[in-house]
């Protein structure tokens, strides 16, 4: 019986793999660290068929579940791409900020919108500024 194996396209914004390499994985290499990394890649290149070119393909990062969305993806949907906005961790999008621990983005520069970029801002603890001009911790983990 044939078992489905994902095609190993590269990440969006990265150089393509050599065309001489097979895009499917061989049975003995299925649990290597590089394969696990490629399999979990949320920004893997896709090659849709013409009938699959619709708004869902282009709105993929906006329609992503709140718990899986990164800070850059969230900031990209806001005015001025999130500069001047207040961000905090919460279990869902309707949960208010109550601990006084939040991050206010001063500048956001995208290298590859909305996937890669740099965020700089001020971290607040108990409602008072603690550090300015810093990058947030784990901004690309979606946590």
Q: Are 64 and 58 in contact (CB under 8 A)?
A: no
Each residue's pLDDT tens digit, 19-71: 676 666 566 666 778 777 777 777 777 777 788 778 777 777 778 888 888 88
Residues whose CB falls within 8 Å of the CB of residue 69, separated by 6 or more in sequence, listed in order: 61, 142
Backbone φ and ψ of 65, nearest 5°: -60, 145
User: What local confidence, expressed as pLDDT, does residue 22 receive?
Assistant: 66
Task: Read off the DSSP letter of residue 30.
Answer: T
The answer to whether the pTM exceeds 0.75 is no
pLDDT of residue 143: 46
Helix (H) or strand (E) holding 36: helix 33-40
- 76 pLDDT band, cuts 50/70/90, is confident
Contact call for residues 8 and 35 (beta carbons, < 8 A) = yes
| Residue-wise pLDDT tens digits, 118-143 | 899 999 988 899 999 998 876 555 44
Task: Report how many helices (DSSP H) and strands (DSSP E) the chain contains, helices first.
Answer: 3, 4
Q: Who's near 101: CB < 8 A, 6+ residues apart?
A: 88, 124, 125, 126
- The H or E element containing residue 91 is none
Helix (H, G, I), strand (E, B) or coil at 58: helix
Which tens digits make up the pLDDT trace of 96-112?
A: 888 888 999 999 998 88
Is residue 25 within 8 A of residue 8, CB to CB? The reply is yes
């Amino acid at each position: 019986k044939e078992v489905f194996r994902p095609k190993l396209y590269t990440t969006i914004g990265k150089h393509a793999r050599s065309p001489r390499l097979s895009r499917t994985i061989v049975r003995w290499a299925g649990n290597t660290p590089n394969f696990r990394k490629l399999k979990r890649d949320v920004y893997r290149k896709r090659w849709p068929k013409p009938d699959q070119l619709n708004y869902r393909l282009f709105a993929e990062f906006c329609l992503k579940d709140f718990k899986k969305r990164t800070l850059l993806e969230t900031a990209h949907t806001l005015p001025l791409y999130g500069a001047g906005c207040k961000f905090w961790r919460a279990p869902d999008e309707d949960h208010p900020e109550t601990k006084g621990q939040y991050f206010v983005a001063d500048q956001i520069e995208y290298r590859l919108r909305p996937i890669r970029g740099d965020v700089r801002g001020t971290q607040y603890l108990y409602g008072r500024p603690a550090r300015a001009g810093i990058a947030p911790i784990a901004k690309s983990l979606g946590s």
